Amino acid sequence: MTRIKLYLPVGVFGVLAVVLFLGFTLRDPNLLPSALIGKPFPAFDLPVLGAAGERAGREGLLGEVRLVNVWATWCPTCLAEHGELMRIGAETGLSIIGINYKDDPQLAVEWLRQHGDPYDFNVVDDAGDLGVDLGVYGAPETFLVDAGGVIRYKRVGDVNPVVWRDEIAPTLAGLAGWQKVEAVLGDER
Amino acid sequence: MNGVLRSSVLVLVVGCLGASAIDGFDFPDAETAARYQRLITEFRCPKCLNESIASSGAPIAVDLRRTVRRLMEEGAADEAIRDHLQTRYGDFVLYDPPFKPSTWFLWFSPVLLALVAVYVVVRVARRRTVSAPSDAERERARRLIEAS
Amino acid sequence: MIVELGHFATVLGLATAFGLAAVGYLSATNAAWRGTVTSLASAQLVLVALGFAALLNAFLTSDFSVLYVVENSNTALPWYYKLSAAWGGHEGSFLLWTLMLAVWTWAVAVLGRRLPGEIHGRVLGTLGLLNAGFLLFLLSVSSPFERLVGGPVEGADLNPLLQDFGQIVHPPMLYLGYVGFAVAFAFAVAALLAGRLDAAWARWTRPWANVAWAFLTVGIALGSWWAYYELGWGGWWFWDPVENASFMPWLAGTALVHSLAVTEKRGAFKSWTVFLAIAAFSLSLLGAFIVRSGVLTSVHAFAVDPERGLFIFWLLVLAIGGALTLYALRAPVIRARTQYWGLSRELLLLVNNVVLVLALAVVLLYTLYPLAYEAATGGEKTSYGPPYYNRMFVPLTLVLAAFLCLAPVARWRRTPMTLFRNTGIMFGAAGALGVLLPLMIGGAVDIGAMLAVGLGLWIAMTHAADVARRRRALTRSYLGMVFAHVGFAVALVGVGVTTAFSHELDVRVNVGESVELNDVVYVFNGVEQVQGPNYTAERLKFVTDTGATLHPEKRLYPARNQVMTEAGIAPGLLGDLYITPGERLPDGSWGVRINDKPFVRWVWLGALLMALGGVLAITDRRYRRLADRDAVSAPSHRGDRRQPQAATA
């Protein structure tokens, strides 16, 4: 009995080592889960980028499945993912809405002219208030919003072909109101 | 290349520390100012983990501080402000999350360990005292104590 | 060229470490090898020191053909920061770690040369094996000697946060402590291998454990002090994983230092003491893994590289797993036959150990729980902060403090109840003052501050009374205990008062305006431009009606284009005034944060007293007789009725 007790430390350490190993190999400590999956997209009322006087709100998102992308010209990763957004917009016909986050609108317009514009429209979130409502903590972040305006998926960091294939396209496939699923998945397969 | 990457990681982390986190808001009275001060230390900055939004210099922390102040001006109670941030950023922003399944372990494990600790002390102490000292032992002990 | 020589010396150091491991274990059974062991330990020190000197030289001469220098230095740095930049990043700081281990190894080889061969050889063999692992890690995946083809003309600069006096002294102290516990670890492994676990073993181990503990205490205190003045929010402890990483070995080390006393004097707690000796260094290794692998997010962690994390992980598994397996197989199960009654010193030390280990378990569980939770739920996150730690830690500290009051009075085996009479009277006096003083200092009722001050005073009183009673019979080891315990009381008072009665205010001020916080008026006298050695700064000037002048600065370091705030502090034994600059606002006014931190210095002052006590204790005469082989069987304590020596293999 007493002898067995001496094995306790090495046993505890074994458990600890497994936890450390799993934690170390499996996770990205900087990634936060979104608290908003399954919740309605927050209401907003913001100017539309490049269209003086025009404003857009949550109603503007309803009726169709949308990919909502938070981006800025000061964010290098946004440029890195831009090509993939262009491809998604062109090949799948998925509606993409941009939130130009804490940015200079003039630079943003120029940036879109230079790198191409996959967005149906952009809203200008200068102060970052919509960002706070969306739980954004850095750019880029991307949300998949269903036709009823409910957030179904969130990606922190760049959207790339792997993320599209493994995460966005399958989520999309489960959404009512998205007609081109088969075509999309067929492409990817 | 590797080195360049490494440095850039460092810079990111550094953006959090040592930067300014003071907005110079005006408050109507000292109590409101103190309440604000207390509230902003309750939330974790989602960008600079392990810093509160009170001390973080990240832009998102600035936004969150502004949000807290706005909600205060709108007359929100502390609980409502916590809820507001929690529904948007999840439990992760709370430094003092409520008692619930994911934190049960944190409440119970120390208490359980403390009970084990008390048990160990009592058991060891009693094991040592079961055999009462003989008279000779007592005499010897007394002499030792007097001598020391 | 010098860098390559340094690299080569370090490679030879690795070979020497392996040699030391082999020859060390050989010499345990074959006395002919003993001289070689000491030579190898010296050679290892010289070689690793040469490697480190080469790195220092590369920094001093700004050799930007070395990648690590490029990443961490800059020609504009003052020379002392160029030197300290050598341990400003992962690679160099780990080279410092191996150098520290080489220093300790050499010290054991020389100072412990009269130890029995079976112990001496195995201790050094174990230390050699450890440093071989570390040097292998250094040279394979974190070499600071890596060249950069076509290096730039200018370096990226040392992180401005680290350009500070605190960061010159904090890492070496901390590492001396971390690595110092390797000696106690090696003594434990040697004793288990030799099957020789007795009071003499405890007496040999005790000075080493004490010194390592003292260094770690100073290291942690310096880190806390640095965070306090450099990070600009006036906090001195945040339960950050990296802080916890240093705190866990400290808790284990504190338990070890006390448990060793029982094993040395009473021959009891043997297996437990050996376990703590293994645990203290194991937790140092765990800390290194946490800091250097990025497994937990922290504000202080080094840049992350998964390859390195995995390497340290396997080092950790081998070293700790090996030692604990050895422990399970070889630790003695014989129950010590010592007896004690009531509030004896044995019982108090038992309580001390149980509380410290409980605190350690809480910190360990809380630090790693996010990992476990995520692994168990498949990616769900959990998060909690200082309030969770404090809720568990504060009561434990108070229990510890309450029992500490009895420490000087208690005797081995049993304490006559009459001795406690004065303790009771002092309890009344300390209790009354503990209620009154916080009221006077803070002007408000705060239970935490009252408990801290009351218990702190009680500890100080009982110790002072015992010193007065003993007068001439004061040994250094006894005085060391008094210093350390009073240091704990001082820190306790500091923590209690500063937590309860600090004030904070964020305001906007214009030049010429004044602000009042807690009855002190701060006048903003103006801003001047200052040119530092490698930065430009706007220096604000505040004068208070108490006669203090504060100079908070907003610095721009052009090398990294980084803005840093430097708090303006008016330090004082009874409290600091503390101003952090914010932004200059469009209307020309400044946002500033004013802090008022009563008794905050006591936190670090207490830690220094503790460390001083640890060092004082080992200058005691009986450790100087350590060399005498026959001291092993001589009673070390008058009237000590030690049980018969455990059979030695």
Closest CA to C206 of C253, C270, C261: C261
Work out the average pLDDT over B15-43: 76
3-class DSSP state of B61: helix
pLDDT of residue C560: 81
Interchain proximity A17–C316, CB inside 8 Å: yes
Cβ neighbours of residue C337 closer than 8 Å, sequence gap 6 or more: C643
* A34-188: CATH topology: Glutaredoxin (3.40.30)
- If one compares C414 and A146, the residue with the highest pLDDT of the two is A146
3-class DSSP state of C191: helix
Chain C residues with beta carbon closer than 8 angstroms to that of A10: 321, 324-325, 327-328
Q: How far is C185 from chain A (nearest CA, A)?
A: 15
Interchain proximity A128–B47, CB inside 8 Å: no
Q: What share of chain C is helix, strand, coil (3-state, %, to 5)?
A: 65, 10, 25
Work out the average pLDDT over C221-236: 88
- If one compares C380 and C482, the residue with the highest pLDDT of the two is C482
Interchain proximity B60–A30, CB inside 8 Å: no
Q: How far is B45 from chain A (nearest CA, A)?
A: 9
Question: Which chain C residue has its CA at the smallest distance from A21's CA?
Answer: C313
Q: How far is C106 from chain A (nearest CA, A)?
A: 30
Compute the distance between CA of residue C462 and CA of residue C30 in angstroms, rounded to an integer: 51
pLDDT of residue C408: 84
pLDDT in tens, C519-546: 999 999 999 999 998 999 999 999 999 9
DSSP C150: T
Residue C407 has pLDDT above 90, yes or no: no
Q: How far is B47 from chain A (nearest CA, A)?
A: 6
Work out the average pLDDT over C89-102: 95
Closest CA to C208 of C606, C633, C617: C617
Chain B residues with beta carbon closer than 8 angstroms to that of A35: 86-91
Work out the average pLDDT over C322-346: 80
- From residue C523, alpha-carbon distances to C21, C516, C579, C580 in Å are 64, 9, 12, 14
Q: Can you give the pLDDT of all 189 residues of chain A as single tens digits?
A: 467 888 999 999 999 999 888 877 765 655 666 677 888 899 999 999 888 888 888 888 888 889 999 999 888 888 889 999 999 888 888 899 999 998 888 999 999 999 999 999 999 998 888 988 888 887 789 999 988 889 988 888 888 888 888 888 888 887 766 655 444 444 443
Q: Dmax over Cα atoms in chain A, in whole Å?
A: 81
Token pair in block for residue C413: 């085996």
pLDDT band at B135 (very low <50, low <70, confident <90, very high): low
Interchain proximity C321–A14, CB inside 8 Å: yes
ipTM for this model: 0.86
Q: How far is C490 from chain A (nearest CA, A)?
A: 34
Task: Decide if B49 touches A, using CB distance below 8 A.
Answer: yes
Residue found under tokens 């009071």: C199
Nearest-Å Rg of the Cα atoms of chain B is 27
pLDDT band at B8 (very low <50, low <70, confident <90, very high): very low
Structural domains of chain B, ranges and CATH numbers in brackets: 1-97 (1.10.8.640), 99-148 (no CATH)
pLDDT of residue C77: 92
Work out the average pLDDT over C321-334: 89
Question: Which member of C289, C325, C380 has the closest CB to residue A10?
Answer: C325
Residue found under tokens 């108090």: C348
pLDDT of residue C561: 81
Chain B residues with beta carbon closer than 8 angstroms to that of A36: 87-88
Question: Which chain B residue has its CA at the smallest distance from A35's CA?
Answer: B90
Closest CA to C305 of C65, C94, C452, C115: C94
pLDDT band at C639 (very low <50, low <70, confident <90, very high): very low
Chain C residues with beta carbon closer than 8 angstroms to that of B125: 347, 350
Phi, psi of C517 (to 5 degrees): -140, 125
pLDDT of residue C192: 94
Task: Decide if C386 touches B, using CB distance below 8 A.
Answer: yes
Work out the average pLDDT over C452-461: 94
Cβ neighbours of residue C515 closer than 8 Å, sequence gap 6 or more: C505, C507, C509, C521, C522, C524, C594
Tell me the β-bridge partners of C227: none
pTM above 0.95, yes or no: no
- Asked if A70 contacts A41 with a C-beta cutoff of 8 angstroms, the reply is no
Question: Which member of A32, A36, A131 has the closest CB to residue B63?
Answer: A131
- From residue C199, alpha-carbon distances to C134, C305, C340 in Å are 31, 44, 18
Compute the distance between CA of residue C100 and CA of residue C211 in angstroms, rounded to an integer: 13
DSSP C302: P
Compute the distance between CA of residue C98 and CA of residue A131 in angstroms, rounded to an integer: 47
Interchain proximity C365–B106, CB inside 8 Å: yes
Question: Which chain A residue has its CA at the smallest distance from B91's CA?
Answer: A35
Work out the average pLDDT over B30-41: 86
Q: How far is C260 from chain A (nearest CA, A)?
A: 19
pLDDT of residue B6: 33
Interchain proximity B95–C387, CB inside 8 Å: yes
Q: How far is B135 from chain C (nearest CA, A)?
A: 15
Number of CB atoms found within 10 A of residue C434's CB = 23
Phi-psi region of C338 (alpha: psi -120 to 50; beta: other; left: phi over 0): beta
Question: Which member of A13, A19, A33 has the closest CB to residue C372?
Answer: A19
- Asked if C113 contacts C105 with a C-beta cutoff of 8 angstroms, the reply is no
- Asked if C616 contacts C476 with a C-beta cutoff of 8 angstroms, the reply is yes
Task: Decide if B134 touches C, using CB distance below 8 A.
Answer: no
- Asked if C424 contacts C439 with a C-beta cutoff of 8 angstroms, the reply is no
Write out B95-141 in H/E/C secondary structure: CCCCCCHHHHHHHHHHHHHHHHHHHHHHHHHHHHHCCCCCHHHHHHH
Residue C251 has pLDDT above 80, yes or no: yes
Cβ neighbours of residue C20 closer than 8 Å, sequence gap 6 or more: C37, C40, C41, C44, C105, C124, C125, C127, C128, C131, C132
Q: Which residue type sits at A79? A: L
Q: How far is C573 from chain B (nearest CA, A)?
A: 26
Interchain proximity A7–C328, CB inside 8 Å: yes
pLDDT band at C643 (very low <50, low <70, confident <90, very high): very low
Interchain proximity C333–A20, CB inside 8 Å: no
DSSP letters for C413-444: S---GGGHHHHHHHHHHHHHHHHHHHHHHHSS
Token pair in block for residue B58: 């990240």
Compute the distance between CA of residue C115 and CA of residue C109 in angstroms, rounded to an integer: 10
Phi, psi of B12 (to 5 degrees): -55, -50
Phi, psi of A55 (to 5 degrees): -130, 160
Work out the average pLDDT over C563-584: 91
pLDDT of residue C381: 75
Q: Which residue type sits at C21? A: A
User: Which of C506, C507, C553, C564 has the highest number of chain B CBs within 10 A, making it the mutation to test binding with B?
Assistant: C506
Dihedral angle at the C-alpha atoms of C248, C253, C256, C261, nearest 10 degrees? -150
pLDDT band at B13 (very low <50, low <70, confident <90, very high): very low
Q: Which residue type sits at C198? A: D
Q: Which of C114-123, C348-357, C413-422 has the lowest mean pLDDT?
A: C413-422
pLDDT of residue A189: 38
Question: Which member of A30, A102, A132 has the closest CB to residue B88?
Answer: A132
Q: Where are the domains of chain A?
A: 1-31, 34-188
Chain C residues with beta carbon closer than 8 angstroms to that of B124: 350
Residue C648 has pLDDT above 50, yes or no: no
Domain C1-163 top-level CATH class: mainly alpha
pLDDT band at C44 (very low <50, low <70, confident <90, very high): very high
Chain B residues with beta carbon closer than 8 angstroms to that of C340: 128
Instruction: Count how many residues are written for chain A.
Output: 189
Residue C45 has pLDDT above 80, yes or no: yes
Work out the average pLDDT over B40-54: 82
- If one compares A147 and C365, the residue with the highest pLDDT of the two is C365
Question: Which chain B residue has its CA at the smallest distance from A42's CA?
Answer: B88
Instruction: Count how many residues are written for chain B.
Output: 148
Work out the average pLDDT over C596-617: 96
Question: Which member of B49, B66, B89 has the closest CB to residue A135?
Answer: B89
Cβ neighbours of residue C642 closer than 8 Å, sequence gap 6 or more: C199, C266, C267, C635
- If one compares C640 and B133, the residue with the highest pLDDT of the two is B133
Compute the distance between CA of residue B94 and CA of residue C117 in angstroms, rounded to an integer: 57
Task: Give chains near B: 3+ CB pairs under 8 A.
Answer: A, C
